[in-house]
Amino acid sequence: MLCRWLAGHNENSEALRDFLCFGFRPQVRRICVKCSFPLEDTRPMAPKAPSTTIALNKRARFEYHLHDEFEAGVQLAGWEVKALRAGRVQLTESFVTMHRGEAYLHGCNINPLISASTHVVAEPKRVRKLLLHRKELARLVGGINQKGYTCAALSLYWRGPWVKCKIALASGKKAHDKRASIKDREWSRDKERLMKDHR
């Protein structure tokens, strides 16, 4: 089948008019001359930007109503940074406590690399200090002591060369709230499946 590029054709071109009626992307100009049907664009797609997310705590979003969110730095050892680059971390059982006006991350499990932790005694679940401004620490203390909130760790991610932890003041969900969350999640999943089928 003889095909050619329609670059440079005017708007009165019959093949170009047929192409525009199909509603495809304007930059896809490759059209079959015989049937005027647009062909699939085989040009390579631009590479996606690498994800900066290290780990997510999906359980926290299911178990709690989230209120104020904060971005905190994390005090880490060298072997922990290498393990995070390899993705060897779990946040499922993590939580944040306040002690003497400072915030600390508990339950974050960082599994050490064998090659990177031969010269140190690695503690995968050690308590790690979170780095926050004074005003943010005051808001955390007020939410925990006055309003009875808990503080949950939501995610770990890279901000340039630094590891950041997103934390939030949270209150527990009731059973009916959890059922509503399940329904919303299932509906979102079904909606994505329907959209994919109709493309």
3-state SS, 8-70, equals CCCCCCHHHHHHHHCCCCCCCCEEECCCCCECCCCCCCCCCCCCCEEEECHHHHHHEEEEEEE
What total of structural domains would you count in the chain? 2
Q: Is 105 helix (H, G, I), strand (E, B) or coil?
A: strand
Over the stretch 104-117, which tens digit does the pLDDT of each residue have? 999 999 999 888 76
Q: pTM for the full model?
A: 0.64
Confidence of residue 31 (pLDDT cuts 50, 70, 90): low
- 195 within domain boundaries: no
The stretch 136-151 carries a mean pLDDT of 91
- 190 within domain boundaries: no
Say yes or no: 97 and 132 in one domain: yes
Contact 157, 54 (CB under 8 A): yes
- Name residue, tokens 């590891």: 163
Domain carrying residue 148: 53-172
Say which CATH number the domain at 116 has: 2.40.280.10
Say yes or no: 14 and 103 in one domain: no
Say yes or no: 80 and 153 in one domain: yes
Contact 120, 77 (CB under 8 A): yes
Over the stretch 33-72, which tens digit does the pLDDT of each residue have? 566 655 555 556 666 667 789 999 988 888 888 899 999 9
Q: What is the pLDDT of residue 122?
A: 86
Residue 2 pLDDT exceeds 50: no
